[in-house]
Copies of this chain bind each other. A is one copy, B any other.
């Protein structure tokens, strides 16, 4: 079903059919209606590849994410998809499994796929080769969750958030707080959250010996259980994401600890599922769908307005704290 067929059938030129779809105002109402009727009857849909080739814009946004298995990114992608659709764009998502080689491959694939712009969550903006590659192409892009002064980023201030959390826990009476972190190499967020942890501990005048670094993909319940068996054992666990927090809940159970009575567990991300858990997961919440939405809006704005995207375009969104039920004062403090 091509534009030619519609034109023939309607007894007009292809140019007219094209106008009916792209600038209806330039066509007399009668012709327009006539063509529209024929097109509908024929089930005509303009061929996206041809249009892209001709106009040099695809109305497709590339998205690069670590994984969809972490609900944070699934929530974000939903936000992206929703607002992209609203703005008349499609999305082409690729996952990297937190692997750096895959980042580069994904960027290449999107580049070849003629995307108009990209939204990406990279391991580390400072070192990402994929990002470097992308920059030289001058294609508009936005980083989500990442934070770096040289790039346009949509994120929350993780460091500050965790730092505040430490103070909050300290003021509840917690002294021995440990951090369960995702691998630093695979995530600048993990790094920032750890920095926030250290800063908070210093401010609260507590020792911060315990940081447990565990892989993102494997379950790590064993390591966490081990951490909880150390003496003196932590009375609170700050986890660098909600998935790790959920596993920490499990580890606490295996170690025979009651949450939050014997152990406080706090996550980071605010995934929706956390609210349905028992105990409701206490966590630092990020507006995941909004991070997606905001990324799209910024990108689309740059795409249509022609304004280049610079580090100044970065947006720091508000984080929050969900009190939940996995956080309380330590027993000895009561």
Contact = CB atoms under 8 A, between A and B. Distances in A.
Given A69-B75, A77-B68, A94-B81, A219 B112 contact: no
A277 B246 contact: yes
Contacts of A221: 276
Contact of A71 (B71, B95, B136, B275): B71
Contact of A47 (B81, B112, B247, B253): B112
A95 B221 CA distance: 33
Given A69-B75, A69-B78, A92-B92, 20 more contacts: A43-B136, A45-B111, A47-B112, A47-B114, A48-B49, A49-B49, A49-B52, A49-B58, A68-B75, A68-B78, A71-B71, A219-B276, A243-B273, A246-B273, A246-B276, A246-B277, A247-B276, A249-B278, A253-B278, A277-B277
A276 B245 CA distance: 10
B90 A46 contact: no
A31 interface: no
Given A276-B219, A276-B247, A112 B81 contact: no
A15 interface: no
Interface in A30-54: 43, 45-50, 52-53
Most B C-beta atoms less than 10 A away, residue of A49, A58, A67, A276: A49
B47 A272 contact: no
Interface in A109-150: 109, 111-114, 136
A125 to B, nearest CB: 21
Nearest to A278: B253
A250 B273 contact: no
A74 interface: yes
Interface in A238-257: 243, 246-247, 249-250, 253
